[in-house]
Amino acid sequence: MTTTKGLEGIVATTSSISSIIDGILTYRGIDIDELAEKATFEEVAYLLWYGKLPNQSELDQLLSDLSANSAIPTAVIDQMRLYPKDTNSMAALRTAVSSLSLYDLSANDMSRDANVLKAIKLQAQIPTVIAAFARIREGKEVISPKSGVSIAENFLYMLTGDKPDKVAIEALDKALVLHADHELNASTFAARVTVATLSDIYSGVTSAIGALKGPLHGGANEAVMAMLDEIGSLDNVESYVNKKLENKEKLMGFGHRVYKNGDPRAKHLEKMSRALGEITGNMKWYDMSIKIEEIVTGKKGLRPNVDFYSASCYTYLKIPRDLFTPIFAISRASGWTAHILEQYDNNRLIRPRAEYTGPVNQSYVPIDQRS
Ligand code: SDX
Where does the chain hold its CATH 1.10.230.10 domain(s)?
Answer: 220-316
Averaged pLDDT for residues 298-315: 97
For residue 177, what pLDDT is reported?
Answer: 98
* Ligand 1, atom 23, residue with closest C-alpha: 216
229 is catalytic: no
For residue 328, what pLDDT is reported?
Answer: 98
Averaged pLDDT for residues 64-85: 97
42 lines ligand 1 (CB under 6 A): no
Residue 362 class from Cβ within 10 Å (0-12 exposed, 13-18 middle, 19+ buried)?
Answer: exposed
Give long-range contacts, CB 8 A cutoff, 24+ apart: 289-295. Answer: 289/228, 291/234, 291/237, 291/238, 292/231, 292/237, 292/241, 292/251, 295/237, 295/238, 295/241, 295/242, 295/245
Percent of the chain with pLDDT over 90: 99
- 15-213+326-345 placed in CATH 1.10.580.10: yes
Averaged pLDDT for residues 119-135: 98
Q: Provide the CATH number for the domain formed by 220-316 in this structure.
A: 1.10.230.10
48 lines ligand 1 (CB under 6 A): no
* Ligand 1, atom 58, residue with closest C-alpha: 250
For residue 317, what pLDDT is reported?
Answer: 97
Task: For ligand 1, pick from 245, 257, 299 the residue to mutate: most ligand atoms within 8 Å of CB.
Answer: 257
Q: Which of 179, 182, 256, 339 is catalytic?
A: 256
Averaged pLDDT for residues 129-137: 98
* Ligand 1, atom 9, residue with closest C-alpha: 185
Inform me whether the pLDDT recorded for 230 exceeds 90.
yes
| Residue 271 pLDDT class (50, 70, 90 cuts) | very high
307 is catalytic: yes
* Ligand 1, atom 40, residue with closest C-alpha: 255
For residue 1, what pLDDT is reported?
Answer: 75
Inform me whether the pLDDT recorded for 228 exceeds 90.
yes
Averaged pLDDT for residues 231-255: 97
Rounded Cα gap, residues 265 and 309, in angstroms: 10
132 lines ligand 1 (CB under 6 A): no
Where does the chain hold its CATH 1.10.580.10 domain(s)?
Answer: 15-213+326-345
- Total length of the chain: 371
Inform me whether the pLDDT recorded for 325 exceeds 80.
yes
